Amino acid sequence: MKPVDAWSATLPTALLVLADGTVIEGFGLGATGSATGEVCFNTAITGYEEILTDPSYAGQIITFTFPHIGNVGTNDEDIETVNMAANTGVRGAVLRADITEPSNYRAAKNFDVWLKARGIVAIAGVDTRALTALIRETGMPNAVIAFDPEGNFDKEALVNQAKAFPGLEGMDLAAEVTTAQRYDWQEATWKWDEGYSNQSTPKHHVVAIDYGVKRNILRLLAEAGCKVTVVPAETSAKEILELNPDGIFLSNGPGDPAATGAYAVPTIKSLIDSGKPIFGICLGHQMLALALGGKTQKMHQGHHGANHPVKDLTTGKVEITSMNHGFAVDAESLPGCIEQTHTSLFDGSNCGIKLKDKPVFSVQYHPEASPGPQDSQYLFQKFTGYMEAAAS
């Protein structure tokens, strides 16, 4: 693959080197240096700042299929990781077009400056359509993304570096992005000309287990009337239940659910046995399935984008959803105690489950992102409804 014509006569200052030896040339943006990860593609046409700060992307290099990334700049309000000062997610970004000056009233910082500040290596001038087609055909490759302003690269060393990356299977990346200590969350949703509000009169207490939680999930829990206590991923069931929650939330996050499940699944099993209402999203969904006796599997190309149709099998309704996952629940492995509630209309993969005899449910997609635009936010009301019923 070659860089696009606009830069074809200039010395490349960035490379994306795949583990099979493929070298893709382009022009560097963001932080200098190199980073290793799994290359995926994301089909969203908005929300690049949210995507690049989603902890679920830890260990991955994102190829944006939309060509104009960075055109509305960046701001602190759209960062999704709770740790706003650190890059706790993506390893790199692959773009087609160069970054333009921002054109949006909310822009506070140029995208290139923002990438540098967060230590994210990026490459522009890539034929992202060809790279996306390659991923669709052969799966998500391991790779190194490198930026040197002088264009000095040891390609053989970079190929070996890409080959040495073990891949995401077997990786517990939740341990790398989870909070180090417990904290309370009160910030609710954003409103026009008002900004973010605070939840000062909560009706319910939710303990959220942080496997890589996004800020907007916590905001929507607060908006739904919840006092939220966020705890680290390895917090025990005993410690969680001692906080006397009305409900328990299992968050999104990166990596292999089976690896994180080594310590998370026993905890989740105990929480299910407690009878407390439980709601899981993404990685939380996958680990809930594991705790209930199901299995997960690595996907060929994953689901990454804001245009994924999902059917609610309980109502027949179709939701347009946002997704970001490279592992999925094996629907065939689900035991009889589980009802499958949602399925992808792209490939039929499982997108939601619930226990038949307890207030426990989860979805694979991200209802807080809601490109529908709010097709899936009813799930937060469903969770609070379970808590109200349990309290009555």
**Catalytic residue annotation:** 282, 366, 368
Task: Please check whether residue 218 is in contact with residue 209, taking contact to mean a CB–CB distance below 8 angstroms.
Answer: no
Task: Please check whether residue 364 is in contact with residue 289, taking contact to mean a CB–CB distance below 8 angstroms.
Answer: no
Distances (CA, A) of 264 to 235, 259, 297, 389: 9, 9, 17, 27
C-alpha to C-alpha distance for 153 and 13, rounded to whole angstroms: 9
Handedness of CA 158, 164, 167, 172 (dihedral sign): negative
C-alpha to C-alpha distance for 66 and 195, rounded to whole angstroms: 28
Helix (H, G, I), strand (E, B) or coil at 243: coil
Please spell the DSSP secondary structure of 262-312, one letter per residue: HHHHHHHHHHHHTT--EEEETHHHHHHHHHTT-EEEEEEEEEEEEEEEEEE
Helix (H, G, I), strand (E, B) or coil at 170: coil
C-alpha to C-alpha distance for 147 and 155, rounded to whole angstroms: 12
- Which single residue is written with the structure tokens 């509000």? 197
Q: Which region holds residue 230: left if phi is over 0, alpha if psi is between -120 and 50, else beta? A: beta
Task: Return the structure tokens found at 88.
Answer: 């706790």
